[in-house]
Amino acid sequence: TANKKMKEVKDTYHTHLHSIDRKYFKTAKKLLQEIHKRMFTVYLQPKINLSDEKLNGAEALVRKLNGKGNLVPPIDFIPELEQNGLISFVDFFVLETVCEYIHNWQKQGKKFIKVSVNMSRTTLRKKNVVQKAVAICSKYQIGPQLIEIEITESIGGLEKKLITRLMDDFHTAGFSIALDDFGSGFSNIAALAENDFDVVKFDKSLIDTIFENDKSRTVIQQAINLCNAVNKNIETVGEGVETEQQLQILKEYGCDIGQGYLFSRPIPEEKFLKDFLTGENGEKCD
């Protein structure tokens, strides 16, 4: 059955195996084995509505287990996977795991929350990426309305036409799209005008000094205003909120959602279920 399971894993991901550079085939096989052996796991970090401090949703963040059973953060393995083009296996594994989580929550009568997944540039470049995402959702009977795709502002490197088409296709399928890490690099303001993002996530570096530094405070205030001026329905998210002072400032400026250690670190699904999907936060209300 180990072979059968391996075949299942391969089938799930084979769509993209053909687009992998031949010289990375061995590495790809090893990665699929690691996925199969559950050496990757998906943590969840809650997103909190700043108006009532109730749960808004969660972001899925991948973790890898090393031989000693310790968790390796994404920064230590994602760059290499982006280089060799194998990150899409991980991105789709994360989406699939998230669908499994949501499916189980629904079975337990929990509230429906939206979960966001990160999609790297390399993944977005793959053929049929949207159809693939749709197929994974329907395998678990999850409406794409419950999934948000996070695209980092480094999509600057993708062709405009490709981004436009991807955004259209994701939207048509029912997914929402977040612009991640806004403010962490250059030339990201044009992206706001050119694309129809549902959510903008302000990078932690924009939030870090808003209490101590007047200029940072003005920047975040005007960034929130800019997003709302471009699209009054846009959701603004402050990332890396660590202090009560930062929270108060974001609230005052009308930021919609907060995410950060102040509320919770990324945690395993079981803990997320126990701490955030029970009691008044987690009961099904509709």
Residue 78 touches ligand C2E, criterion: CB under 6 A: yes
Query: Which member of 48, 61, 134, 273 binds ligand C2E (CB under 6 A)?
Result: 61
Q: By CB under 6 A, name the one of 9, 17, 74, 219 that touches ligand C2E.
A: 74
Q: 266 touches which of Mg ion, ligand C2E, none (CB within 5 to 8 A by kind)?
A: ligand C2E
Largest Cα–Cα separation, the chain? 61
Non-local CB neighbours of 86 within 8 Å, separated by 6+ positions: 20, 24, 27, 28, 31
CA neighbor of 157 nearest in space, from 191, 202, 109, 117: 191
Nearer to Mg ion, 180 or 269 (CB): 180
Binding mask 190-229 for ligand C2E (x = CB under 6 A): --------------x-------------------------
Is 153 a binder of ligand C2E (CB under 6 A)?
Answer: no
Q: Supply 224's token pair.
A: 């929130």
Note whether 87 binds ligand C2E by CB under 6 A: yes
Task: Give 41's contacts (C-beta < 8 A, 6+ positions apart).
Answer: 62, 63, 64, 65, 71, 97, 268
Q: Does 268 bind ligand C2E (CB under 6 A)?
A: no
Q: Pick from 56, 122, 67, 113: which is nearest to 90 by CA?
A: 122
CA–CA dist 77, 217 (Å, integer): 34
Single-letter code of the amino acid located at 84: N
Q: What residues pair up with 115 in beta bridges, in sequence order?
A: 58, 147
| Count of residues that bind ligand C2E according to CB under 6 A | 26
Among 96, 150, 198, 269, binds Mg ion (CB under 5 A): 150
| From ligand C2E, Mg ion, none, interface partner of 74 (C-beta below 5 to 8 A by class) | ligand C2E
Q: Which of 254, 259, 256 is nearest to 242 (CA)?
A: 259
**Residue 154 makes contact with Mg ion by CB under 5 A:** no
- Interior CA angle at 218 toward 213 and 223, to 5°? 130
Q: Does 91 bind Mg ion (CB under 5 A)?
A: no
65 scored as a contact of ligand C2E (CB under 6 A): no
Binding-site member from 242, 243, 251, 275 for ligand C2E (CB under 6 A): 242
The 10 Å CB-count burial string (b at 16+, else e) for 118-150 is bbbebbbbbeebbebbbebbeebebebebbbbb
Interaction of residue 185 with ligand C2E, rule CB under 6 A = no
Beta carbon of residue 112, minimum distance to ligand C2E (angstroms, whole number): 21
Part of the chain binding ligand C2E (CB under 6 A), chosen from 29-37, 133-141, 234-242, 274-282: 234-242
C-alpha–C-alpha distance, residues 22 and 282, integer Å:
47
Applying CB under 5 A, which residues contact Mg ion?
118, 150, 180-181, 228, 239
Applying CB under 6 A, which residues contact ligand C2E?
45, 61-62, 73-75, 78, 87, 90-91, 94, 118, 120, 150, 152, 180-181, 204, 239-242, 259-261, 266
